[in-house]
Amino acid sequence: MTISPVRPTTSSRPPALRTNRRRTALLAAAAAVFLGLCLLRWNPFALQYDLRVYVVASRAFLHGQDIYTAHHAFPKDMLLGFTYPPFAALVFVPVALLGTGAGRAVMTLASASALIVIGLVTVRALRPNWSRYSVAAAGLAVGAAGVALEPVRSSFDLGQINLLLLAMLLVDLLGHLPRRYRGVLVGIATGIKLTPGIFILYLLVTRRFREAVVASAATAATMLAGAIAMPTGTWQFFTKYMLDPSRPGATHFISNQSWRGVFARLAGGVQGIAPAWALAVALTLAIGLWTAKRAYDHGYRLESILLTALTGVLISPISWTGHFVWALPICALLWFRVVEVSSGKRPVLVAFAALWTVSIAFGLPWTAPHLGDKEYTLRGFDLFLGNSYAICAATTILLGAYEFRRRKSIA
């Protein structure tokens, strides 16, 4: 007589195991719903103007054409010229091959997935002692809340790559890669858009020299790949197009929240602003990186990354509102800190967190007069509205410099 083994039933499993599986299934379902809702809101029939710029450049490469003049085949002012290094056109080749509708769907899903990653790594940085399930739940909530912010919505609307770059940078800089690969994503992001290159300086000033070398090598590899694929295009980009700050669009346009955009609006044009702009860039770079280093030395890694990011968007010649997707981890950090500070400091921090949240959620620059050169007419409160993102960024750097000026380093 043989005795058949008794198979454990679902009810005989340990309660903790059943609870964990239910939590995992619930979180997976919530993530899937979020992705589905994003795909419904930003569907394959949405225009996604910037994605079209990427795809046109990639298709030009596939057909042996110049990626930087491919937009000339379209009616005037219908399409801006491609402004990224040649490597970026290579990155978008798979999207170009998918076709218009499928490419838009992939970009939307990729951006929505990046939002979830941003939320997860932000919460893990803010609450390192929380359980995986607590971090997953809070991270999903933070990521989903991101769609309430104008820069995030703008990135979805335009099919921009901002959220993907933000996720790559946070994953790398917060140490979620194996040690030997840390810096690789920073280098790849720099090869796609150049502006993330400020994080190579950040790695140097925070004495993470190995990561800085890896990031530099990865950047060089992307440049080499672009040069091999498009030697003429590479030469033109680094000798001509990269040096033309007006190529992405009008400097004074309300969406440009960098110092150059602010000064252009104040001065009525870009003529004559070079000395003031150069001084502002130098001071911002010095104060911003010094403050980021102080924050890092005190053990505030996320804060140091965000301070560096704000420095980068201010000193860049063009920083559209969509580039301020960094506001998502910034707002999350500020509201998490509100819970931690003493009651005496809480009102100040609440006010500052509210300033960031209201400015970014409502997209205050867009409430000021704009288009038709109305940016040159800003006066009074409209000056604040029209430059509110830049004001929030600069104020954050200055407050950070004040906060970390006398604290004793733990490094």
Residue 16: which pLDDT band, with cuts at 50, 70 and 90? low
pLDDT tens by residue, 21-62: 888 999 999 999 999 999 999 999 998 999 999 999 999 999
The H helix count followed by the E strand count for the chain is: 19, 0
For residue 411, the model assigns a pLDDT of 42
Asked if pLDDT for residue 408 goes beyond 80, the answer is no
Task: Give the Cα separation of 306 and 320 in Å (integer).
Answer: 17
Task: Give the Cα separation of 161 and 155 in Å (integer).
Answer: 7
Asked if pLDDT for residue 106 goes beyond 70, the answer is yes
Average pLDDT over residues 144-169: 97
Contact 46, 157 (CB under 8 A): yes
More reliable by pLDDT, 2 or 54 = 54
Structure tokens at 353: 């967190």
Decide: helix, strand or coil at residue 296: helix
Asked if pLDDT for residue 334 goes beyond 90, the answer is yes
Contact 31, 116 (CB under 8 A): yes
For residue 278, the model assigns a pLDDT of 97
Decide: helix, strand or coil at residue 267: helix
Asked if pLDDT for residue 77 goes beyond 70, the answer is yes
Which of the residue ranges 2-16, 22-36, 86-100, 369-383 would you say has the lowest mean pLDDT? 2-16
Asked if pLDDT for residue 375 goes beyond 80, the answer is yes
Alpha helices in 174-321 (DSSP H): 184-193, 198-205, 209-229, 231-239, 259-267, 274-297, 301-315
Asked if pLDDT for residue 405 goes beyond 90, the answer is no
Task: Give the Cα separation of 399 and 222 in Å (integer).
Answer: 36
Task: Give the Cα separation of 302 and 292 in Å (integer).
Answer: 10
For residue 1, the model assigns a pLDDT of 46
Task: Give the Cα separation of 246 and 345 in Å (integer).
Answer: 43
Contact 104, 48 (CB under 8 A): yes
Task: Give the Cα separation of 111 and 390 in Å (integer).
Answer: 24
